[in-house]
Amino acid sequence: MSQIIPIASGKGGVGKSLLAANLAIALGQQGKRVVLADLDLGASNLHLVIGQHPGKASLGSWFTEKSEFKDIIQPTDYQNVSFIAGDSQIPDLTSLKHVQKVKLIRNLKNIDTDYIILDLGAGTHQFILDMFLLSPQGILVSAPAVTATLNGYLFLKNAVFRLLYTTFKRGTPGRSYLDQFKQNTEQMQKLYIPQLIQGLGVTDPQTTQLFINRMQQFRPRLVMNMIENPQEADRAQRIKSSCNQYLGLEIEYLGLMYRDMLQDKALASQLPVVVYKPQSVLGQAIYRIADKIISSKPHSFDSDFSPDSFSNDNFSGVEEDANDDFNFRLSGIDDLVSGGSLTISELAEMIKTQQYELTQLRKENNLLKSKLIKAAEQGFKI
């Protein structure tokens, strides 16, 4: 049975696709059969990282032309590695219907290979969360930057809530208990998962035990990228502590990758780092991560946690644009500051950075406005 490895990130630009591509090749070099799938629909560019021409066979063609799924699994120039191209022509993940998502999940699970690596889009769209929950051992890529840490934590918080609402289905006493909070999302966001489990245990003990079991099975793995010095690696332990305290979630530390300008040269050459310069610091870090994956025992959710259970139910505070929801972001900041993952000075630095970015955006906006006004005036003169 193949092992699915979803790779996600709370925000873009932290090296998610870098890890996905190089990890696939590193595993292939060790004799493992790997299928690398670009599920960053609407922004598919994984083929550039591995230097693969996507061609016409892609997920987009499979969705629209009803072709055979096996026909879009294309060989690559790398030993034991096959590739499923995404499709940048799919503008929005919400265009995928529930039946299409279930069909995709079932076809992925039926691939005859050792590992299936899913390069997911950034953020917390329901589709991304469901793909991440295809395995209890998905990989979250983050970076030591404060915003990356916050978004990484928020991604895991969203995943836990998605697991919660997938377990407590409509009609169960526990769902009725959860629905009481829908009118007060701020209260729900401030209620930590361990506290919530206590209330659910009284209302719906049977389903609550099932959720506890699934939380024990759920062991996402963290990779810290763009490390500049050993002190920044401590951020991983801080995220782990906050997840344990506020989400009741145990995460595993899979490894770190130092910032390496070599990646830019490799990307320009359309060669993965482990091919371009395997002995580099970055290349060796990826090989260590691959070794850990091979040596670790694979885990799975219980058999009742099937693709059909991934409903379209949304919780109003943990929905498609949760990272942009003000109250939800504040709850994440509260958790990380209270747990010591963010210091007050780091929080202040994040605010300063965001203020600077807002100022720059205002300047660009004013410049564009002035250009539009001038263009309109010239048009009237003509």
Digit-coded pLDDT (tens) for 139-170: 999 998 888 888 899 999 999 999 999 999 98
Same domain, 362 and 333: no
Whether residue 327 is found in the same domain as residue 366: no
The C-alpha atoms of residue 231 and residue 369 are separated, in whole angstroms, by: 45
What are the CA-CA distances from residue 192 to residues 302, 340, 353 (Å)? 24, 16, 29
316 in the same domain as 184 = yes
pLDDT at res. 247: 93
> Which residue segment(s) compose the domain that 210 sits in?
3-341
pTM of the entire structure? 0.83
* Per-residue pLDDT, 286: 95
Residues 107 and 229 both lie in one domain: yes
64 and 115 assigned to the same domain: yes
Q: Are residues 226 and 258 in the same domain?
A: yes
Partners of 117 in the beta sheet?
5, 36
Rg (CA), the chain: 22
d(CA 20, CA 56): 22
Are 317 and 327 within 8 A, CB to CB? yes
Are 78 and 100 part of one and the same domain?
yes
Pair (70, 182) in one structural domain: yes
Structure tokens at 195: 């506290």
> Do 246 and 359 share a domain, yes or no?
no
CATH number at residue 99: 3.40.50.300
Q: Which residues pair with 255 in a beta bridge?
A: 223
Pair 215, 357 in one domain: no
Q: What pLDDT score does 324 carry? A: 41
Check if the beta carbon of residue 81 is closer than 8 Å to that of residue 24: yes
Domain count, the chain: 2
- Give the pLDDT score at 331: 64
Are 193 and 125 members of one domain? yes
Question: What is the CB-side half-sphere exposure of residue 72 using CA atoms within 13 A?
Answer: 24
Which segments of the chain have a pLDDT < 50? 94, 315-326, 382
Instruction: Assess whether 355 and 375 both reside in one domain.
Output: yes
